[in-house]
Structure 1
Amino acid sequence: MDNIKRLKELTGQIQKAAYAYYGLDRPLMTDKEYDDLYDELSALEKETNCVLSGSPTIKVQGFVLDGFTKVKHTKPMLSANKTKDTKEIEKFVTNNRFYGSYKLDGLTVVVRYKNGEFTQGITRGNGIEGEDVTEQCRFIKNLPMSIPYKNNLELRGECVISWDEFKRINKDLDIPFSHPRNLAAGTLRNLDLNIIKDRNLSFVVFECVTDMKEDSKSETLIDVHNMGFEIVPFTKLNSTVDQVCDALQPEFYQYPTDGVIFELDSRKLSESLGATSHHECCRMALKWEDELYETKLNDIEWNTSKTGLINPVAVFEAVDLDGAITTRATLHNISYIENLQLGIGDTIQVYRANMVIPKVHSNLTMSNTWKLPDKCPCCGGDVEMHNENESKTLHCINPDCKAKLLGKLVHFVSKNAINIDGLSEQTLQKFINLGWLNSFRDIYYLSEYKKEMYKLDGFGKKSVDKLIESIEKSRNTTLDRFIYGLCIPLIGRTASKEISKSCANGNVGQFITIMSLEGNQPFIGLDGFGKEMCNSIVHWWIYNKQNFYELIEEFNFRESVNNGNVKQVLEDKIFVITGSLKFYKNRDELVNVIERNGGKVSGSVSAKTSYLINNDVASTSGKNKKAHDLGIPIISEGEFIQMITS
């Protein structure tokens, strides 16, 4: 291939991967694949003496998300020059004072303090300006809000999630995060601050931007630590390169790392060395070389999750990955398999990404003989392929699939729905496997298996009796909780409450009457009840009304009680959403956030509308024009976030 053509191809590939990684927190490739492409591009640029405009070797990769307030950095946030050769590190440090520290693998963040109080948090963004994440930073548990240092202070660090926290969060997710870096970045940028609050983010300082009149950077870090900050572990000054590498192995540290930073200790020397447009000349990163191991692919296993997503897993002959005997690795999705051109019996190369997560790196045989399942591996039902964000995924479309049944049952018994104590996800799964649960109604006949339950491991007589009692207690419920528990698409808690109110404040007979009217659009006149929600509940009723009739026989419905003592931040406010979204995955996610905060969502602008959410505030669309005519404020997603977090 022509060198210039290859330069263009590599630049485009890396830019696309960088946007997915930094801008969307959804990597298109493994870190090793990215590094391999980067190294190939760098070598080709040296060989041809040609560097294209926008090359990632001369420009910091990173993106500012539209909608966050943009903040300019006091000095450019550049990358570190990288190498995998310790000889280059030795040449770099020469006779200068230096120390080594972990290269943290998270989201780089700047924090600012004034008069000893935390005032601002900013992401790296594109290196020149970043996103204001001040309110999100207030939920980072180890980040001090007040410090004894009363002068202005600016620190740089990494927002990270520990491996233990990563495992805790992933165990409850249907589609787990692939790496703590993506989880940390996605969490800090999350619009729902309750999610940030429930996840243990950490902030680890690696640089003090403020000149504290001390030439030694390592001594300054110690001063910062004494103010109450967690700092990155670093080695003694002038240890050898080998000693630094031996001391900073990834398994020694609680947070994910992808290398070692070698930092010149003198602030004055560092400033005198200056910087390129890509990196400062006072530090160099030693990236760990991921060792590849060959093995034989024995199978591709397909597992159906509780949302119906069918996940592929590579099963291969046991291989010792740096001390861990491994036989399995995720294949992510169908696109990943297609790129590898896999086939049973192929010789593949596997490695531990960042020396932790097993990954399939390449396929040496490339037989491309793999077969896409035409049936769900759990229920044998039909499957269909989805293509979102340029990634193909496989889904079971059988509504009665047992894998899906678990997710529905978990929701049905949850606190905000029917609220049955003792029916954990693990217990529900056990009862499904035993054949005791195939529907919501079966829950109310579990007492028939009481004697069998007594004999199960971990089920004592007292706990079983308490469970049966909790099930019986749940028979007394309200219509809004019942509707919410049925897992009707697009019908969240707020919509369920509105439906219940419109049915004589919780009369199930009136609900049935409204749903049974031919050709009507049930509940379309309710605040926040749009056409899509109406179509969804009609479609659900067509296929589920017989099950509904049978299920309500198990319940005693009482009148819904509205707790007027709890006033939420968006209570009495009605929102209309239009245009494309930048932060939320889709419109349903934004609707759920509004409803969780007490607000309502309507499908059209009217005199009752409180706010129109549209990222294109200056748009000449019909909804914008009507909002202008009625004097209704038009706000962006960023302004909405400020509204619910202020």
Structure 2
Amino acid sequence: MSEARERMEQLVRRLNETSYAYYVLDNPIISDMQWDQMYDELKKLESETGIVLPDSPTKKVGGEPLKSFEEHRHITRLWSLDKVQSLEELEAWIQRTEKLAEAENLQYYLEYKFDGLTLNLTYENGNLVQAATRGNGITGEAILPQARTIHSVPKAIPYKGLLEVQGECIMRLSTLEKYNKTAKEPLKNARNAAAGALRNLDPAVTASRHLDAFFYQIGTIENPPYDSQPGMLDFLRQNGFQVSPYLGSSKGRQALEECILEVEKRRSSLDWLIDGVVIKVGDYTLRERMGFTEKFPRWAVAYKFKAEECVTKLLDVTWELGRTGKLTPLAHVEPVDFYGVTVKKATLNNLGDIQRKDVAIGCDVWIRRSNDVIPEIMGRAGDPKEDEKPIEKPQICPACGSPLIERGAHLFCMNRESCRPQAVARLAHFAGREAMDIDGFSEKTAGQLYDQMGVRQPADLYTLTPMDFLMLEGFKEKKAGNLSDALEKSKHCDLDAFLFALGIPNVGRKTARDLAQHFGSLEKLKAADEASLTAIPDIGGIVAGSVIEYFSFPENNQMIERLFAAGVHPGEMHSAAEGVFSSMSIVVTGTLPTLSRKQAEDLIRSRGGNASGSVSKKTAFVVVGEDAGSKLTKAQSLGIETIDEAELLRRANS
């Protein structure tokens, strides 16, 4: 028992220390996943020993209010939520809930579990009179001036009775990205950005973050005109509150699990952080019957998703060379487990990114993982350590030893011809199937040509003869002849294929096609400015900047001129055909009954439309097939029309 108590004391001390950093200082020092693991261990020990230490976090809700803010006592207590992290744990919660409610197949509702800071608003006579953080659930920090800077917080509402509304203050991910582009000190993540701004003594700082809020609960109300969760949300909407764009509903266990998996699948497409879903019994009469524990409502639970952020140690940084000659820093971190996936590497964008995030070798860092994408380092976690070493700016190329130059935020090796890795990668990309489509050409062939034939640039390929290819290992007369024919054929290429073959950063195959259709010729594209580029659907500032920068570099223009001199002639491309879909941006998502995705998109283009890959306010409508995912959800949240394949065909032929 003494060992168990000693471990419990260690856990309580560490959990309270990290909770203080998270809730009060807005500077978390461990990840949610690590906190949850310690919390679960403590709960298990408490259950086994029957001991609950006086300062155990299992008895608390939230954190203590900052001393620099006035305290505000909530009219109605703000409850925390019990949590489950697996379908098995959810099943056990459902069984307890149905037993308490004395009913089976209850009507459950699911909402996003936003990852931000709790915001509690008080209205009297239709006017916003107070705003507060959760604090310890009974008292919080009064933050009315800060809350007034949030545009989605109504300052006045139609309802005139006493009202207390609970929601979540967030920072949208798109807002965070925009903010960090010009910030002297970039924000580590959206949750900390929102919490730090809302609990800043200067409302001007709050306003500068352009925060947002979603509301999901009413704590205090006189004579509520609703008796269910959907009714309560409708009441909030009618009074000008922004509510979650998603409300799932389910009566059966299987349907409930399907809703959870659906939300988890679309998680990475949202413009805000969520770390799970909240599941609630919908009927308010049943809620009253079920009541509360010391800490949680018995009629609601949070289903937590797998962690996307974690803290680990930065061990080293290497510089990776790409085909454009750009060097990108790659972080090597102490292995960390993201629910079964071991992560050892993470992204750092460039030298400026390293400096802004204030990271060093040996320091603890926040890393964020989304889906299967390589994680990104978000920033430093905790205070500097004595044994840290600064990340040195490289002076020479790690592949060829040539001096590096700085262009904007990036480092480049300008030795385009004798720096083997970038030259070989550039040749292989140029000849690829979706680029110049030189059949029979591979990266291995590119390496052989570099080593044995002195090929350094794509234009050099067009000087080769079948006899040259016969000198390469693995080539016989037929293979050499076929490759020579494929090279000759590639001289007469489409403009979009040529643009993709050039390897312009951030320009994929679809973007190359959009650029070719819009401008029609290479010369017009080279003369384009940012305004004319971003006027094209699906092309934003990052792609526009990449295009402009690419054509501003003399070496790229020289490479193009050499290709022209070698006989490569990309044809001009006419604007999209006129038709019933002219000037429309249309998205296809899911599996259609008879048409493939490519066939549907080709049909849209043949009728003058733009087959877009993403849903936005500019989207005219979305063609939906089976297993449609996040694009359908976003279309619904924006109120964009959705149609099926049959309706697409009818409109296309009308």
TM-score (norm 2): 0.49
